[in-house]
């Protein structure tokens, strides 16, 4: 890994450690993990790797089903939160600090390799896809949930894009992972996807539409990082206004009872 790569990884760790991502999981993201585990048909006797596992939103339900699970993530603070969550529930699994672009596991080591809105945020998509395939045994399962470009989180990244620092060379937008065509380009004939299904995560945790934006500004690393950059350029008020407009645009409820739908792509396939 080059010095440039090391600096990029350090910035990513700091971004995801900022705010309070574990509380975001608890507030509205919890349903995504069990949905991925169910779709991957995880059960006893399987060896499972959760890549960019964060706090274990998919890894912990997989372990609850009797699988032997390794939860890996670039950010130690998220792993610490996951360990505590598993410990409080009496659930046994392994936790490993690991970069999704350079996984520290042998070839063909796992029966199931999955990632729940995690691996999509590593900057170099092809490196990640190649690693997911490499560590999965032939005939094993690769399972992913990713926010779509057309959905609400894809829209959030477009809204923030004009205020964010320029991406590093070779980096691609995270929501591309939610595109069926992009997955086809990344995995080619290495994975045959039996399931490519767009689903919606309904979010009703916020009373007022702008509360969604406030939640992200206080707790979501990418939004916190973008606000910091905008502030350094004197554009923070402009970004704040854009986020308020965004929340109102995507609210499907009322001013006093907000409801949002966050579209994601569920992709589950067999490693050839």
Tell whether 72 is covered by a domain.
Answer: yes
Q: Say which residues have a Cβ less than 8 Å from residue 63's Cβ, sequence separation at least 6.
A: 69, 86, 91, 92, 93
Across 225-251, average pLDDT: 97
> Is residue 102 situated within a structural domain?
yes
Range of the domain at 141: 3-204+260-271
CATH of the domain at 12: 3.40.50.150
19 occurs within a structural domain:
yes
Q: Is 221 within the bounds of a domain?
A: no
In this structure, is residue 213 part of a structural domain? no
- How much is the average pLDDT of 212-237? 97
Report H helices in 92-178.
125-134, 152-161
Look at the chain and report how many structural domains it folds into: 1
pLDDT band at 1 (very low <50, low <70, confident <90, very high): low
Per-residue pLDDT tens digits for 147-156? 999 999 999 9
pLDDT at 3 over 70: no
63-114 pLDDT tens trace: 999 999 999 999 999 999 999 999 999 999 999 999 999 999 999 999 999 9
- Between CA 232 and CA 230 the distance in angstroms is 5
Q: Is residue 61 part of a domain?
A: yes
What is the pTM for the complete model shown?
0.96
Judge residue 6's burial from the number of C-beta atoms within 10 Å of its C-beta, 0-12 exposed, 13-18 middle, 19 or more buried.
exposed
**Average of per-residue pLDDT across 202-206:** 98
Helix (H, G, I), strand (E, B) or coil at 168: coil
Tens digit of pLDDT for each residue in 181-199? 999 999 999 999 999 999 9
Give the contacts of 185 (CB within 8 A, at least 6 positions apart).
none
212, part of any domain = no
Contact in structure between 240 and 33 (CB atoms under 8 Å) = no
Residue 243 included in any domain = no
């Amino acid at each position: 890994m080059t010095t440039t790569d090391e600096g990029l990884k350090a910035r990513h760790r700091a971004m995801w450690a900022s705010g309070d991502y574990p509380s975001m999981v608890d507030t509205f993201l919890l349903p995504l993990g069990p949905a991925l585990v169910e779709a991957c048909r995880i059960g006893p006797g399987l060896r499972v790797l959760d890549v960019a596992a964060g706090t274990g939103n998919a890894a912990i339900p997989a372990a609850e089903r009797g699988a032997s699970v390794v939860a890996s993530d670039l950010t130690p603070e998220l792993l610490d939160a996951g360990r505590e969550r598993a410990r409080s529930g009496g659930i046994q699994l392994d936790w490993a600090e690991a970069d999704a672009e350079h996984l520290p596991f042998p070839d063909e080591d796992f029966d199931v390799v999955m990632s729940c809105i995690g691996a999509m945020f590593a900057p170099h998509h092809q490196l990640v896809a190649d690693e997911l395939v490499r560590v999965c045994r032939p005939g094993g399962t690769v399972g992913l949930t990713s926010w779509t470009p057309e959905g609400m989180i894809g829209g959030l990244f477009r809204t923030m894009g004009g205020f964010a620092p320029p991406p590093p060379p070779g980096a691609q937008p995270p929501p591309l992972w939610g595109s069926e065509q992009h997955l086809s380009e990344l995995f080619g004939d290495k994975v045959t996807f039996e399931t490519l299904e767009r689903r919606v995560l309904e979010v009703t945790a916020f009373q007022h539409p702008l509360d969604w934006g406030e939640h992200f500004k206080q707790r979501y690393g990418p939004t916190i990082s973008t606000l910091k950059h905008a502030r350094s350029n004197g554009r923070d008020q402009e970004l704040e206004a854009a986020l308020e407009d965004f929340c109102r645009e995507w609210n499907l409820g009322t001013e006093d009872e907000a409801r949002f739908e966050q579209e994601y792509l569920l992709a589950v396939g067999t490693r050839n």
